[in-house]
Amino acid sequence: MDLTWYLVLSALIFATGVAGVLLRRSPLVILLCLELMLNAGNLALLAFSRSLGNEDGQVFALIVLVIAACEVVVGLGLIVAAYRRRIPLNVDEFRNLRG
Amino acid sequence: MDATTYGWLVLAFPLAGTVLIALGWKKLPGRSAGWIGIGAIFLSFLASLGALAQLLDRPVEDRQLTNSLYDYAAAGGLDIQMNVLVDPLSVFMCLIVSGVSTLIHLYSLSYMTGDKGFARFFSYLNFFVFSMLLLVLAGNIVLLTVGWAFVGFASYALISFWYRRETATEAGMKAFVINVVGDVGLLLAALFLFRELGTFDLLRIFETAPEAFTTNEPVVVTIGVFLLVGAFAKSAQIPFHTWLADAMEGPTPVSALIHAATMVTAGVYLIGRFHPIFEIALTAADIAAIVGLLTLLIAATIALVVTDLKRIIAYSTMSQIGYMIMGVGIGAYSAAFFHLMTHAFFKALLFMAAGSVIGAMANRQNIDLMGGFRRSMPFTCAMILIGAAALAAFPGTSGFFSKDEILAFAEHRGGFYWVFAIGGYLGALMTAFYAFRIGFRVAYGNPVPEARELEEGHLHHAEPANPATGEPEDTDVGFPGAEHHIAERSWPMVVAMGILGFLAIFAGLVQIPGIDAVVEHFLEGSFEDSTLYGDLPSTADEYRGLGIGGVISLLGIALAAQFYLRKPGTTKRLQERFAGVHGLLADKWYFDELIDAVIVKPTLALGRFANSTFERFVVQGLVSGATGAARGASAGVRGAQSGYLRGYALLLVVGFAGLGLYFLVAGS
């Protein structure tokens, strides 16, 4: 199979993720979209690895999975904590960093 | 034991006494703290005697010994040892310091009884003596400076010993500040010497200095002048003399200690010790002599009119130290140190007697309120008269031989040095007058109520009040104790004053021209390299000097007798007649005001200017200017910081996409 298809699919998933991060307001959804982007990257890595016959890409994909897991732990933890404190789950209201 | 071992012991005992009393003051019962203090200093005196015996066993040219405990600092060309220099001069000073201090401690045992700070007092006192001994035994300038600064601190602690008395704390601060000015002078001299000679060790400095410098080279004169600044501040010479009179706020034994044994003699010692430098820096030596002369004259004139008993004696000290500074300045080393010794005896005696009188007066010190104590306090009055006679250089007493030896030397040196002789004799006339002003006014005249009360057998008690301001005072800690003590009723005071009285009369006999010269022969070991030391006036010249001095002394005493015994009202009439002169003298030649106007006020004005103008506009301007600049520069990009998470994410995506595009385009 041509490498192109995999890359197109990966790009589509990545674009979906970006759109989700940019457009949605719920932190939970944003986190999901971040996962989408990471997995799009994973797909591209695996595709390149297969087509080039080099296992480095697979190793990278594993590392990305680990990092994604860590990130989800922190992110979900923050979200749960915010929910428990009855802070509205809307990223547009988290504006304390405004200059 | 070696002489240097004794040197270390001299230092060890007072330090141990200080620590012991300071740590154990709560547990020490009764007057035991005082006995520990006395014992420590007495052991130190015995160790000094041991060092003396060891030195006398050695040949004259081999009496300068050093011993180092360990390397204090050795790095980068520095080599500072923890070493003592035991030589005739330092042992001579140790003997005077520890000997007179032992007697002063003994006197304090009675005088301070009943004071709530009894143990604290003896701890400070021991520390004071330790500092002074460290100063005279130090083998290098670094250790000398340490002792020098310790003396300054100890004087501060003791002058403001009654720390809840405001005048006392102010006097302590004044003494400390002026002493620090002197410390800076000494330190600068030390650094200059190190730059020129590469060593802090005293003996090496004296060895190398004659080759390293030519006579009156600017740098060596500078070193000399800086040394003099240190010496003048410690020895209360003009213009650094104002602290000494205020130092009378301390307890009377402290005054005796500062004036007789420790502290003010340090300047004389410093100049004597550094005589190889001053014999190269002739200009600096002349400055010392001139300042000494000025001080002895000015202080003597002030002593003529001051009415506070202790302050009269304080100004007389200033004047007598002026003689010594003049002596070491013109090169009359043995005479100056001989005078230092006799002065230590009769000045300590005068202060002790004054303390006894003040005890009888329930802490009042105004001499106008005193009189007629000779029947009620025969011993004290006898001691005052002995002290005054020695101070006035009455023929035969110790002061007679020592003072006139300095002046005979000044005549002998010729040139313009005759000025010093004439000035010295003028000072001697005033000295004789004010010495017996004290004696006659306290002992003779109509008995004041306090004296009458004492004649009937009880000591006068008054509401405790500050003698300087008249404010009522507590007798709690930080104030003088409730009790007063007079020599007639406490044996330690009698013993201390008796020994000093004996020495004040007879100590002069160790150095009678043509007969013996104990001090001069002994000190020779330290002054071998001096060109002036051996050059002494002939015996006939000295006897002529003694004759003139004796006549002048008798004349001054006769004047005092005429003024205070035969026609007691004379001084009042003179005072009215010459109100202007009297005012000038009573206000101490306006030195306090002068220093205030020249140094204190401009410094304060500068400080105020710096605070109101420099601080506000320059310093504040720099700080707020920096923040303003940062704020202004960041105004353009602040808009990007919207705080929206999505905004940041968009920027990130666009940025990375842009970068990726750039590399794609650039790579293809």
Which domains does chain A show, CATH number per domain? 3-91 (1.10.287.3510)
The shortest C-alpha distance from B668 to chain A (Å) reads: 19
Burial of B401 (0-12, 13-18, 19+ CB in 10 A): buried
**How far are the Cα atoms of B142, B178, B575 from residue B234, in angstroms, in the given order?**
17, 8, 33
Task: Cite the DSSP H helix spans in B416-561.
Answer: 418-443, 449-455, 491-506, 518-523, 539-561
Encoded tokens for B167 = 């005048």
Q: Using an 8 Å Cβ cutoff, are B433 and B553 in contact?
A: no
Which chain A residue's Cα is nearest to B637?
A99
DSSP string, B303-354: HHH--BHHHHHHHHHHHHHHHHHHHHHHT-HHHHHHHHHHHHHHHHHHHHHH
Does A22 touch chain B if contact means CB atoms closer than 8 Å?
Answer: yes
Q: What SS3 class is residue B80?
A: strand
The one-letter amino acid code at B512 reads I
**Strand-pair partners of B366:** B308
Please give the Cα distance from A99 to B162 (Å, whole number): 61
Option in B640, B643, B649 nearest A22 (CB): B649
Does A11 touch chain B if contact means CB atoms closer than 8 Å?
Answer: no
Cβ–Cβ below 8 Å for B653 and A95: no
Q: Using an 8 Å Cβ cutoff, are B377 and B488 in contact?
A: yes
Q: Using an 8 Å Cβ cutoff, are B132 and B44 in contact?
A: no
Chain A residues within an 8 Å CB radius of B646: 21-23, 91-92
The ipTM assigned to this model is 0.86
Tell me, what DSSP letter sits at residue B463? -
The one-letter amino acid code at B329 reads G
Q: Identify from B634, B638, B642, B645 which residue to disrupt to test chain A contact, counting A C-beta atoms within 10 A and taking the largest count.
A: B645
How many angstroms from the chain centroid is the CA of residue B339? Answer: 16
**Strand-pair partners of A21:** none
Chain B residues within an 8 Å CB radius of A21: 646, 649
Q: Using an 8 Å Cβ cutoff, are B329 and B306 in contact?
A: no
Q: Using an 8 Å Cβ cutoff, are B365 and B310 in contact?
A: yes
A93 pLDDT more than 70: yes
Cβ–Cβ below 8 Å for B649 and A98: no
Helix and strand totals (H; E) in chain A: 3, 0
Which chain B residue's Cα is nearest to A25?
B646
Cβ–Cβ below 8 Å for A96 and B650: no
Cβ–Cβ below 8 Å for B641 and A99: yes
Chain A residues within an 8 Å CB radius of B639: 99
**How far are the Cα atoms of B33, B99, B209, B232 from residue B21, in angstroms, in the given order?**
6, 20, 43, 32
B282 membership: H or E segment, kind and range: helix B282-305
Please give the Cα distance from B55 to B5 (Å, whole number): 12
Peptide bond into B449 cis (omega under 30): no
Please give the Cα distance from B434 to B562 (Å, whole number): 13
The one-letter amino acid code at B521 reads H
Residue among B315, B341, B313, B308 at smallest CA distance from B327: B341
Residue among B137, B136, B134, B177 at smallest CA distance from B155: B177
**How far are the Cα atoms of B18, B219, B400 from residue B35, in angstroms, in the given order?**
12, 49, 35
**Residue A55: how many other CB atoms lie within 10 Å:** 10
Residue among B20, B437, B246, B642 at smallest CA distance from A98: B642
The shortest C-alpha distance from B648 to chain A (Å) reads: 9
How many angstroms from the chain centroid is the CA of residue A86? Answer: 26
Predicted local confidence at residue A1, as pLDDT:
65
Average pLDDT over residues A65-75: 93
Predicted local confidence at residue B658, as pLDDT:
95
Encoded tokens for A76 = 């979900």
Q: Which pLDDT band, with edges at 50, 70 and 90, does A99 fall under? A: low
Q: Using an 8 Å Cβ cutoff, are A32 and A20 in contact?
A: yes
Residue among B270, B269, B501, B251 at smallest CA distance from B359: B251
How many angstroms from the chain centroid is the CA of residue B188? Answer: 20
Tens-digit pLDDT profile for residues B229-264: 999 999 988 888 888 888 888 899 998 998 887 888
Please give the Cα distance from B667 to B615 (Å, whole number): 59
Cβ–Cβ below 8 Å for A30 and B645: yes
Q: Which residues contact B91 (CB under 8 A, 6 or more apart)?
A: B3, B48, B51, B52, B55
Predicted local confidence at residue B223, as pLDDT:
92
Residue among B82, B103, B104, B100 at smallest CA distance from B92: B100
Which chain B residue's Cα is nearest to A98?
B643
Query: Which stretches of chain B drop beneath a pLDDT of 50?
Result: none
Option in A18, A22, A98 nearest B642 (CB): A98
Query: Count of residues for chain B?
Result: 668
Q: Using an 8 Å Cβ cutoff, are B209 and B529 in contact?
A: no
Chain B residues within an 8 Å CB radius of A91: 644-646
**How far are the Cα atoms of B60, B64, B86, B338, B385 from residue B54, in angstroms, in the given order?**
12, 12, 10, 21, 38
Interface subset of B 624-643, CB within 8 angstroms of A: 634, 637-643
Does B649 touch chain A if contact means CB atoms closer than 8 Å?
Answer: yes
Cβ–Cβ below 8 Å for B650 and A23: no
Which chain A residue's Cα is nearest to B646?
A22
Q: Using an 8 Å Cβ cutoff, are B451 and B376 in contact?
A: yes
The shortest C-alpha distance from B621 to chain A (Å) reads: 25
Encoded tokens for B90 = 């330092």
Chain A residues within an 8 Å CB radius of B644: 91-92, 95
Please give the Cα distance from B175 to B169 (Å, whole number): 10
**Strand-pair partners of B74:** B79
The one-letter amino acid code at B662 reads Y
Tens-digit pLDDT profile for residues B543-596: 888 888 899 999 999 988 888 888 777 777 777 788 888 878 778 778 888 888
Task: Cite the DSSP H helix spans in B112-140.
Answer: 118-137
Does B650 touch chain A if contact means CB atoms closer than 8 Å?
Answer: yes
Cβ–Cβ below 8 Å for B641 and A98: yes
The shortest C-alpha distance from A84 to chain B (Å) reads: 21
Residue among B66, B61, B59 at smallest CA distance from B2: B66
Q: What SS3 class is residue B222?
A: helix
Cβ–Cβ below 8 Å for B643 and A22: no
The shortest C-alpha distance from B617 to chain A (Å) reads: 30
**Strand-pair partners of B75:** B78
Tell me, what DSSP letter sits at residue B301? H
Which chain B residue's Cα is nearest to A20?
B646
Q: What SS3 class is residue B363?
A: coil
Q: Identify from A14, A28, A94, A98 which residue to disrupt to test chain B contact, counting B C-beta atoms within 10 A and taking the largest count.
A: A98
First to last CA, chain A: 50
The one-letter amino acid code at B397 reads T
First to last CA, chain B: 96
Cβ–Cβ below 8 Å for B643 and A98: yes
Cβ–Cβ below 8 Å for B643 and A30: no
